[in-house]
Amino acid sequence: MCSLAKIRCVYSASDSSSGANGNGRTSSGPRSCSGSQFATSSGHTPTLREWLSEAPFTLVMSSGFFGFYAHAGVLRALEDVGFLPTRAAGSSAGALVTGAFCAGVSSSRLCTRLAELERREFWDPGPGLGFLRGRRFAAMLDALLPVRDFADCRIPVSISVFDVNARATRVLASGPLAPAMQASCTVPFMFHPVRHQGRSLLDGGILDRPGLAGVPAGERVFYHHLTSRVLGRGVPQRHNMVALELVGLPQADPFRLQPGHLAMDMATRATLRALRQPVGELMRTDGASAVSRAEG
């Protein structure tokens, strides 16, 4: 278990000619920025807290298997200090957290529910194009969500899914919410594909790992990126976006949920620490104690 979490705020100040595609990637690749790119005319570099308070922002959360624990921890930190997005988007684990929050589930309630999660609640093996039927997962979402439709969400949200027949990403932002969230979390071969709106759907992270496909270009975005041992980092670069990456958090899986509890708490403390740091500064933080030191 690693107690050291690395926080990287990545800001893309490129203009519209930078060639960003729907997933937020550009030909120049991701990079950390110096504080000078944020500096005002007086030379002041804003902290992440100041950047978030300057104007409304869209919250986007990436895919990352059982990384929803870390997402929930980041969201709890934002809500604790009063930063609420005006819009949200996500893919897979990110769709689970942003979808639930936008539907009216507070971050504290979501963190409590995830801490209580047991494998038996979603584990329902059965024959089909995947190991798990997904019926228990669907029932769990129905019980969690206070609203049934995208239109009833307190904050607009868009969710990326993979359309099996079209072999392309679809962005869902209307209609029943729970099936859209379930589809976005339907890891291939782990779950049966979800049949929704006449289409067979799978995990949104297949082609849209960042969850940015439903976010218009140029929109002001705060993005939490989950690092993957399998898929690597690949933090996207996009105009007008600040990305937060927490590296070294414990990683959960269906057979080891307990590390997710620690990751959730570490992510909250690390995010609270990041809010006080100048945007663009690379730092290391001990997620357990929130003691940090800047890297040169």
User: So what's the pLDDT on residue 216?
Assistant: 94
Each residue of 113-145: pLDDT tens digit? Answer: 999 999 999 999 999 999 999 999 999 999 999
Each residue's pLDDT tens digit, 41-83? 566 788 999 999 999 999 999 999 999 999 999 999 999 999 9
Return the pLDDT at 19.
Answer: 35
Q: Give dist(CA 59, CA 89) in Å, integer.
A: 6
Residue 284 has pLDDT above 90, yes or no: no
| Residue-level pLDDT at 65 | 93
pLDDT of residue 277: 87
Average pLDDT of the residues in 264-292: 68
Contact present, 177 and 158 (Cβ < 8 Å) = no
Residue 1, pLDDT above cutoff 50: no
**Per-residue pLDDT at 291:** 30
pLDDT in tens, 210-263: 999 999 998 999 999 998 766 555 788 888 888 999 888 999 999 999 999 999
Residues whose CB falls within 8 Å of the CB of residue 132, separated by 6 or more in sequence, listed in order: 122, 123, 124, 125, 126, 190, 191, 192
Model pTM? 0.85
* Per-residue pLDDT at 283 exceeds 70: no
Instruction: Please determine, for residue 38, whether its predicted confidence score (pLDDT) is greater than 90.
Output: no
pLDDT for residue 238 = 85
Q: How many CB atoms lie within 10 A of CB 112?
A: 11
Rounded CA-CA distance 213/158 in Å is: 9
Per-residue pLDDT tens over the stretch 142-171: 999 999 999 999 999 999 999 999 999 999
Instruction: Render pLDDT for 76-107 as a digit per residue (tens, 0 to 9).
Output: 999 999 999 999 999 999 999 999 999 999 99
**Model pLDDT, residue 9:** 53
